[in-house]
Structures are given as structure tokens and as C-alpha cells.
Amino acid sequence: MPSLYVDGEWIGAAAEREVVNPADQSVVAKVDEAGAAEVRSAVRAARRAFDDGPWPATPVAERAALLDRVADLLLRDKEEIARTETLDTGKTVKESRIDIDDVVAVFRYYARLVTEQHDRTVDTGRPEIESRVVHEPVGVCVLITPWNYPLLQISWKVAPALAAGNTVVIKPSEVTPLTTIALVRLLEEAGAPRGVVNLVLGGGPAVGSSLVEDPDVDLVSFTGGAATGRAILRAAADTVKRVAVELGGKNPNVVFADAADGEGFETVVDNVMTAVFLHSGQVCSAGARLIVEDSLHDRLVDAIAERAERIVLGDGLDPRSEVGPLVSAQHRDKVEAYVASALAEGATLRAGGRRPADPQLQAGFYYRPTLLTDVRADMRAVREETFGPILTVERFTSEAEACALANDTDLGLAGAVWTADAARGERVARALRQGTVWINDYHPYVPQAEWGGYKRSGNGRELGPTGLHEYQELKHIWRNTAPAPTGWFAS
Ligand code: NAD
């Protein structure tokens, strides 16, 4: 089946790419790899659909109805799409199902939000003037996504982009394109007009950068790694595109001893583990840096070390699996290199640090959840995003020291603070330079609240009202109801 979608048609290409299941390296699918001609056609189709097609001026209620239909179709196909996401990414099917529920919520949220948006009337102080600020779509939007949450990440972009009346060219990660193809099929089924949604597949340097450089593109929304984000910002500069980049994180999870009093201890252990080991740590907001109060350090570390060794690794489709494999051999090599470098720099290995011995897991890219203590803030494994199941532990004795450690990073995507003291929780949450801070929790998000990074974790916001504004221009319309000569020039 052809897998590129250009100007309302599914088309093939001369080249193909194999999509591999990270749990056993089997080939799950072969997809078309776009060449320069397909990329150009996709952008032209989106340009035509924006400049000459009905979509940008389609009544908001109709655009919202399309999003609601997509949400219904996602629920209809939930099991199949969840299975596909697991085959493609390795994540457990339980998590894939949660992703789809979240995606449905995002489509429904933007369907509602866009219908509730109003023009703003400005009081100019002159009764003969009607002044309004109105929302308009930006134009042709290129949406580029990573491999860790393929369906979720594209939905955070495509739902607000279409709600606002833009046309789009989608480029998912070449490693995990399958659920994005499925979503585009649902957009087609839901009635997206010809050329409004286009899909090209292929590698970043070839396909991605041609899209970013194309003069017919007005906006690029990118989620992925820091180096790619910087390259995109540079490449988009010549044509002064709007660019939003959502990049990685190195996220502190700050635990005060009072959070672990009594039954709180189990809650803290459990949440610290979920914060970092969910999806094998391949989460931009993973709580990979545990920053713990000195008096709690030894007890907490002992408990995590013991529990981490009991985490059940396995194929994401097996309901007994708690964690799946890493996404690729190359990524596992990177994770192993981070552990080796930390050990060479003096860290202590308290759990994991190895591939599983289970013969059944040898064909997959598995890596045991890993706990490293005695680390310093200047070690590579502490400073850089490892994007793997690695938890490093630092200790503090005062609130000021905890905040200083947590902010000692170039990144600022997310973080958490655990404490029984409400005032302290609030103070620390305010002090952390992170786009999301959880107090006594980790990971939850809702479509109504903005998501994005401080510092080098990015420059945009997704979700919430701002996630829609990113895809809108503001136009000021000034109407003079009693035009008269200005009298500026005497004759
Ligand atoms: P990546 O940067 O390698 O690739 C991301 C996407 O960019 C892919 O589609 C890739 O093909 C494309 N790409 C690569 N080079 C390109 C270029 N020169 N021009 C245009 N496109 C190009 O990232 P990845 O390895 O797929 O994803 C992991 C990264 O994503 C991590 O750093 C993670 O933290 C980040 N991430 C961030 C968030 C967030 O919300 N901030 C969410 C998920 C993932």
C-alpha cells in the first residue's frame, strides 16, 4: 500500500524503508521514502489548498466537526492503532492505549477551544472607529515529530493547526511512521479536503531539511533532539519562517525527606521509579535526575535499587511486561555509553547497567533499568539527556541547595518536588526554571494546560490556548465609519 499522502492521493516512491519492531527486530512494514519530487509536490499541494482552497475560510464549526470525527474514528480503531504503536516503538500496549485516549482528548479540546475563540474589540477612544483583532491561520505548516510518542506528538500539532485553518505537511520520524500514516488515513476518512493534509516519510537530513528550507512553507513546528532543533532554527532563518521547537529535557525530581514519612515512603519510591523508567526513560520529561535530601538518601536508594531489579522487561504486546525495549540498537549503544562514562567518572552502579540475561529477550534492544549514585552535576550522564532508563542520584541538605542543583542545567522542560510542606512545595515550584513543575506527582498532563521548555528545551508551547495561538496570525482591522479628510497638507 502506498504510504505517502499528497494532494489527496496515496502515492508510492522509488525508495522504501523497513520499519523494525524493537522487541525482536522483525520487519513490521515497508514504507515509501519520499524523494525531492514528492516533498516538493506535498508543499505545493498544501500551498494551493491554503491559497485557493476552501479550508482557511471554512466556518470554524465545520473545522471543529472534522476534529471531532477524527476523535471518534480514533476510538473506533483504538485497539489496532495501539498495537501498531507498540510494534513500532516497543512501548507497552497499556501505554499505547493511554496515548490514544490522550490524543482523543487533544482533538476534542481543540475542536471546542477554536469554536469558543472570539475576536477582540479594541476601544480606540474614537466613537467613529471600529477596531478588531481577529485570528487567521498562518499558512502552510510543516510538522516534524520524533519516535518516542509518534501519535501523541503529531496530534499536539495537527489538531490545533487544522482547527486554526492551516494546511499541513507532516513528517514523522523515519523510525516510527506507522501510527502517523494511520492518523492521516483517519483525517482523510473524516473528510479533510484535498491538499489540506499531506504526509511525507523519510530521513531527517533529506526530507526534513528540504521542508524546512522550502520558501512556500510559513511555519515549522518541530519536536525532537537539541542538535536537530538548532539546525532547523538556522535553516529557517533565510526565509524568516515561524519556528517552534520542543526539545529535550534533563528533568530534576526533588525529594524532601518529609514526603517519605510513614506511608509516603512507598508513594515516593513508586513515583520516582515511574518518573524515570516509564517507556524505558525515552520520555522528554523523564525524571532522570533524582535530587534527594541527605537524611532520606540511603533508605530511598536502597529501596529503588531493590525494586528496579524486579522490573519486568518484555515485548510490549505481552501484558506481563512492565517496560519494553529501547527503540533501536543505535539508541541502546548511546545509553550504554552514558553508563560507561558515568562509571569511568566515579559513579557507583546500584542497579541495572547491563542488558537482560533472559534468552528470550536477546533479539530485542532491551536494557535493564539502571541506578547510579555518587554522581556529580558535572558528569555527562547528569548534564545531558540520556533518553534511556538511567536514574542518577544527587543529594542536598537545604532547600536552597536543592533548587540550585535542580537549576544547574541548560535544559528546562519539566521537574517535580516532593514535600509534605505545602508552602515549601510552592516555593520550590516557583524557583525551578522548568516549563512544567509537578508538586507531589510526576508525569500527568492535560490538553488544557501549556507544555513546553524553558532555556534550551525549546521556544514554543504546545497544548492549552497557546498551543492554538502558535498556529494563528493576529490581524488588526480598523474600520472608520465616518471617513473625512485628514487636513494634514494645506493644499
Ligand atoms: P531527532 O531530532 O533525531 O528527530 C526528530 C525528527 O526530526 C525526526 O522526524 C527526524 O527525521 C527529523 N530531522 C532530523 N534531522 C533533521 C533536519 N536536519 N531537518 C529537519 N528534520 C530533521 O529526535 P528523535 O531522536 O527522533 O527524538 C528524541 C528527542 O525528542 C529527544 O531529545 C526528546 O527529548 C525530544 N522530545 C521532546 C519532546 C517535548 O515535548 N519537548 C517530546 C518528545 C521528544
Q: Which three cell numbers stand for residue 75?
A: 476510538
Catalytic residue among 85, 95, 174, 246: 246
Whole-number Å distance between alpha carbons of 313 and 361: 8
Buried/exposed 461-479: b ≥16 CB within 10 Å, e otherwise: bbbbbebbebbbeeeeeee
Average pLDDT over residues 82-88: 98
Q: Which of 157, 284, 338, 451 to mutate to test the pocket of ligand 1 (most atoms within 8 A of CB)?
A: 284
pTM above 0.85, yes or no: yes
Measured CA to CA, the distance from residue 233 to residue 45 in angstroms comes to 24
490 has pLDDT over 90 = no
Query: Cβ neighbours of residue 196 under 8 Å, at least 6 residues apart?
Result: 46, 49, 53, 55, 162, 167, 168
Task: List, for residues 465-486, the tens digit of each pLDDT value.
Answer: 999 999 999 999 999 999 999 9
Which atom from ligand 1 is nearest to the alpha carbon of 451? 40
pLDDT (0 to 100) of residue 90:
98
Contact of 107 with 443, CB cutoff 8 Å: no
Could you report the per-residue pLDDT of 302-323, keeping only the tens digit for each?
999 999 999 999 999 999 999 9
DSSP classification of residue 411: E
308's grid cell: 528496579
Measuring CA to CA, which residue among 352, 343, 253 is closest to residue 296? Answer: 253
**pLDDT band per the 50, 70, 90 thresholds, residue 439:** very high
Contacts of 475 (CB under 8 A, 6+ apart): 133, 134, 135, 136
Going by the DSSP 8-state scheme, the letter that residue 458 receives in this structure is: B
Atom of ligand 1 nearest to the CA of 462: 40
C-alpha–C-alpha distance, residues 142 and 147, integer Å? 17
Looking at residue 349, its pLDDT comes to: 98
Long-range contacts from 133-136, C-beta under 8 angstroms, 24+ separation: 133/474, 133/475, 133/476, 133/477, 134/474, 134/475, 134/477, 135/164, 135/472, 135/473, 135/474, 135/475, 136/56, 136/165, 136/472, 136/473, 136/474, 136/475
pLDDT tens for each residue of 232-242? 999 999 999 99
Asked whether 413 and 251 are in contact (CB, 8 A), the reply is yes
Residue 491: pLDDT band by 50, 70, 90 thresholds? Answer: confident
HSE value, Cβ hemisphere, 13 Å, CA-based, for 258: 11
Task: List, for residues 249-261, the tens digit of each pLDDT value.
Answer: 999 999 999 999 9
DSSP code string of 73-96: HHHHTHHHHHHHHHHHH---HHHH
Candidate from 173, 234, 390, 411 with most ligand 1 atoms within 8 A of CB, to mutate:
173
Residue 398 neighbours by CB distance under 10 Å: 10
Pocket-testing residue among 223, 246, 278, 450, ligand 1, by greatest number of atoms within 8 A of Cβ: 223
Cα(461)–Cα(322) distance, rounded to whole angstroms?
A: 31
Instruction: Please state the rounded mean pLDDT for residues 72-100.
Output: 98
Residue of the CA atom closest to atom 9 of ligand 1? 173
- Asked if 141 is an active-site residue, the reply is no
Q: How far is the CA of 365 from the centre of ligand 1 (A)?
A: 20
Please indicate whether residue 174 is annotated as part of the active site. Answer: no
Cα dist. 235→107, 206, 459 in Å?
Answer: 30, 13, 16
- Give the pLDDT of residue 123: 97
Per-residue pLDDT tens for 380-400?
A: 999 999 999 999 999 999 999
CA-wise closest residue to 462 among 66, 149, 90, 69:
149
**284 CB contacts (<8 Å, ≥6 apart)?**
148, 223, 246, 247, 248, 249, 385, 413, 414
Nearest to 222 by CA among 307, 154, 290, 305: 154
Per-residue model confidence as pLDDT tens digits over 152-162? 999 999 999 99
pLDDT above 90 for 425: yes
Q: Please report, rounded to a whole number, the percentage of residues in the chain having pLDDT higher than 90.
A: 99
Coil, helix or strand for 407? helix
Q: How far is the CA of 437 from the centre of ligand 1 (A)?
A: 23
**Secondary structure (3-state) at 19:** strand
Residue 151 is predicted with a pLDDT of 98
> Residue 403: phi, psi to the nearest 5?
-65, -40
Pocket of ligand 1 (CB under 6 A): 144-149, 153, 171-174, 203-205, 208-209, 212, 223-225, 228, 231-232, 246-249, 284, 385, 387, 413, 453, 458
C-alpha to C-alpha distance for 365 and 299, rounded to whole angstroms: 31
What's the mean per-residue pLDDT of the chain? 97
Alpha-carbon separation of residue 19 from 41, 321, 387 (angstroms): 24, 22, 21
Mean pLDDT of 354-382: 97
C-alpha–C-alpha distance, residues 74 and 83, integer Å: 13
